[in-house]
Each structure stands twice: as C-alpha cells, then as structure tokens.
Amino acid sequence: MNFELKALNLSGAAAAKCDLLVLLVPESFKPEQDPLSALVQSASKHGDWSQAADKSLQLYQAAGVQARRVLLLGIGAASVRDIRNAMQSAAACLKADGVKHALVYLAAVEDAAQAVRTSVQCIADTSYVYTLTKSKVTKPALNKVTLGVQNKAAVNAEFEQAVAVALGQSLAKEWGNRPANHATPTMLAQAAKDLAKHAAIQCKVHGPKDVEKLGMGAFMAVAKGSKEPLQLIELSYSGAAKSEPPVVLVGKGITFDTGGISLKPAAAMDEMKFDMCGAASVLGVFRALAELKPAINVVGLIPACENMPDGGAVKPGDVVTSMSGQTIEILNTDAEGRLVLCDALTYAERFKPAAVVDIATLTGACVIALGGVRSGMYANRDDLAQALQLAGDKSDDLCWRMPLDDDYAEGLKSHFADMGNVAGRAGGSITAAKFLQRFVGNMPWAHLDIAGTAWKEGAAKGATGRPVPLLVQYLVDAVQSAPAKAKKPAAVTKAKTASAPKRKASAKPVVQG
C-alpha cells in the first residue's frame, strides 16, 4: 500500500481526484461553505445520517464532489475506538472493485495525529491479504491511500511512524500466518538475513553446532525431537554510537508447538503454527527500524526451532543444563517456550543491554487472564514497566502489568534439578515469568506474554502483528528519553538551584528516572 499525507481543506477534498472519498466527521465538526459540508448538512437534516459514532452513509456522484463514491462516517467524540470502528465499517468500500485510490479525509478532528495513526493502521490491516499458499487469490484493487488533513506539518512525524509500523506489522503477520512447513527455523533465519539488506541492519545466524558450543542445553532439548535444525538468529540495528547500550528484543520462535512428548490435544493444534509470533514481531520491529532510522541500538534474538515428539525427543523428567549453568527438570515438554527463551536471555547479557524485552506466546493461562485485548507485561523495573505501558497506550497496542512476587516461584522447586520448568495450574502466566526471571540476573528486563493478542481465532483467524506497534513506540520514546537520562547529574544540579522551568517544560513524559 502506498500511503501519502496531504494538506487539504474541505473544498480541496471535494475537488480531489480519487475513486473513493472517505470523510471522517466528528460531532464537533462545524460545516463551512463547500460541497462536502453541504452533503453533511443535508444528510443530517433529513435524518439519513449523523455525526454520531458508527453512523455511515454511502453516496454516488455527489454534487460538487470529484470522487465517484463518497462515504460519510460519523466518529462521535473521535476516540481511537470510534475511528477504528469507523474504518472497519469502511473496509468493504475500500476493497470494492473500482477503488484503486482512496482519499481519507479527517475533517476537523482535534487529535489529528492519533486519527492519522489509527487510520493508517486500520487501512493496512484491512488491505493485508495472505496469499503464499493459495493457488487463486483476488486482491483488492486499492493501491494508494491519501490521508487528507488540515495541517500536514503537525502530523507528519506521526504519519511516518504509522507507515513504518504498518510495514513491520504486516511482515509480522505474514510470518505468523505462514504454515509451519513454510516457516521453518531455517526460513525464519533467511527472513532475518533478508532484513540485513537494509542499511544499519546486520544478521548473524548460529546453527546447531554453534548453539552447542554456547552450551544452550535448554534450547537444544526442545529441538531434539525435530528434523528441522534449530537456529539462533541474531539481528542488530545500529542507529547510535557503538558505546550506547542496546535494547535487546528476544522473540520466542517455536515454528510449531505440538507439545512434544507431553503432546497437545488435536483440537486447534494447527494454531500452534503461531507459536513464533514473538519472533515475527522482532522481525517486524526491525523492518520498521529500517524505515524510521531512530538514533538507538537494538539487538534482536530469536531462538527458533520446532517442538516435536520423536524417539529422540526430550522426555518428561529429563534434566538439562542451561547456558547459565542452572539445571532444569523438564517436567512438561509443552512448557518449551521458557526453555528456548532462558538460554537466549543468558546470551543477551553479553550486550550489556539498557533493557531486555522478551516477547512470547508463552502461556494459555495468559489468554484466560487477559483475553485478546491486552498483552501480559512483566518487568523487574518500574520505569521500564511504565515506558512499555505508555507505549502500548500511545500506539493502541495495549498491555497490562502483571505481578512478580517471589512467592509465585514456589511451585518451580524440583527434587532433581535447580528448578522444574512448570509449576501448578494456578497463575500459569506468572509462574512462567518467574521461571524466566531466574535467567536475567540484574539486567533491566520485561516479558510480554502475547499468547492472547498475537493472533485471532474463528472467522478472523490470523496473526495480528502485535505487539509491533507497542515495541516500535517504546523504542522511539527511548530515543527521546535517552538524553534526559544522560543529563541526569545536570538535572540534579539544576534542581538544587531551583530554577529550571525550561527543562521541566521540555521533559518528555516517557521514563521517570
């Protein structure tokens, strides 16, 4: 999809050449002297439509309007939800046969930046089509979307970020959706290598022999039952000085999770092809970084393998030694995500990261706890938790902080190893996080359990590309908060002199401390 941002007033929107004009009209909209305002007034007067949320009206060859088709969409108070709902109801019109170029005009929306972001995200979402393994596909004609706003300069940065996020999110969706025989660990590694064609991105792939040398006994145990060789994918994006500590993203890359010897039931097992959505989100973030080029260093780590039952597979009760030296009794081979992640987290320490964030479709328990609205978020630092929460709020890719009390780790005790890989059924998402925490030492660390948010079931079955928007927002915000951090001693001095109004006004509300 080609997105374009254009400064237009209402008369300009009416005169614009396109196949479809989508007019988003909030309750606060005041009509002016132009053909679109006349339409809005006339439709409201006759009771055929209103500016309330969820009201829509389609028109053909409207007087004074260049576009053949016009879609009036009421968006009420213009909240993110209002705009999202409106754009979803526009999906069918956007995908109609004759529509190649659409103009989405945001009429006097107060928070235009947010409206732009939501619109780009929704349009990218509805125009994504999975094609790889279909012999016949009909793609919508739509290939260009112009977003019309009154003040382009005010929303340009937001627009560019939204377009970059859309690219990354659709890459994440694509890899999430690919069947496991079309998304093997080796293929994921190739996708990462392809990303390294972009400037500032590099990729190294460690195969089975390298991983054995590294001593990743937990990761290797998961891969033992599979014919597909495991891959440890290492991406790096260098946008800042080498001395700048990176943010490390670790994505769970189980390309298929049968459960292993602790086999899963057959029902919906196909969905376990989505068990690499954490990995896919890391690829998506790097795609967005390639576009946005923020001044930050980022490392992406993806432990990728299949979890299969086999004569050579790891067995319940087997004890393995992780890269950290800690031993693990694998009581349930279906709790494999934490086994591949724990070694990747140990590997992350060598980068002396500013923060490590792992992203994983880790537990069914998280789906029960939070459903598909918010990802579960854990953090061993309050400022990191706040930054992630805020990034989720800003990007409409929500998360919710979960607890890490040490008492939750009780159930991980083992008779035969330093720990077991599972605790009881209670608090399953939390006990999984407690397991991971044993491998992060003193690093600032957060864990996103995306089991509920990474894909949708039922009629809309497919990967969502979450949490690419949240992660990109977090990284962009981290750039802005970095100088504030570096200047910390100066800030203290300033506080002493008690006259720093300028600094206060410019302080970014991103990370406290």
| Residue set of the binding site for Mn(2+) | 252, 257, 275, 334, 336
Buried b (16+ CB within 10 A) or exposed e, 319-356: ebbbbbebbbbbbebbbbbbbbbbbbbbbbbebebbbb
Kindly calculate the radius of gyration of the chain based on its CA atoms and give it in whole angstroms. Answer: 25
Indicate which residue of 68, 81, 193, 264 is catalytic: 264
| Total chain residues near ligand BES (CB under 6 A) | 16
Only one residue has tokens 């809309």, namely 460
DSSP string, 112-167: HHHHHHHHHHHHHHHH----TT-S-----S--EEEEEES-HHHHHHHHHHHHHHHH
**C-alpha torsion sign, points 414, 276, 216, 403:** negative
Residues 335-364 that bind Mn ion (CB under 5 A): 336
The answer to whether the beta carbons of residues 101 and 144 sit under 8 Å apart is yes
Residues 242-281 that bind Zn ion (CB under 5 A): 254, 257, 275
- Does 449 participate in binding Zn ion (rule CB under 5 A)? no
Question: Taking the complex as a whole, how short is the minimal distance between the CB of residue 397 and Mn ion, in angstroms?
Answer: 24
**Contacted by 422, from Mn ion, Zn ion, ligand BES, none: CB < 5 to 8 Å by type:** ligand BES
Indicate which residue of 273, 338, 374, 434 is catalytic: 338
Question: Taking the complex as a whole, how short is the minimal distance between the CB of residue 304 and Zn ion, in angstroms?
Answer: 12
**Contacted by 150, from Zn ion, ligand BES, Mn ion, none: CB < 5 to 8 Å by type:** none
The answer to whether the beta carbons of residues 19 and 97 sit under 8 Å apart is no
Nearer to ligand BES by C-beta: 34 or 228?
Answer: 228
Nearer to Mn ion by C-beta: 34 or 275?
Answer: 275
Among 300, 337, 427, 465, binds Zn ion (CB under 5 A): 337
Only segment of 39-47, 109-117, 333-341, 376-384 that touches ligand BES (CB under 6 A): 333-341
Q: What are phi and psi of 299, to 5 degrees?
A: -115, 135
Tell me if residue 338 is catalytic. yes
DSSP string, 384-451: HHHHHHHHHHHHT--EEE----GGGGGGG--SSSSEES---STTHHHHHHHHHHTTSTTS-EEEEE-T
In the numeric block, which tokens belong to residue 32?
């002016």
- Does 19 participate in binding Zn ion (rule CB under 5 A)? no
Nearer to ligand BES by C-beta: 231 or 421?
Answer: 421
If you ran DSSP here, which 8-state letter would residue 219 be given?
H
- Does 334 participate in binding ligand BES (rule CB under 6 A)? yes
Among 34, 174, 306, 336, binds ligand BES (CB under 6 A): 336
Which residues form the interface with Mn ion (CB under 5 A)? 257, 334, 336
Residues belonging to the active site: 264, 338
Which residues form the interface with Zn ion (CB under 5 A)? 254, 257, 275, 337
Which residues form the interface with ligand BES (CB under 6 A)? 257, 275, 332, 334-337, 361-365, 367, 422, 428, 451
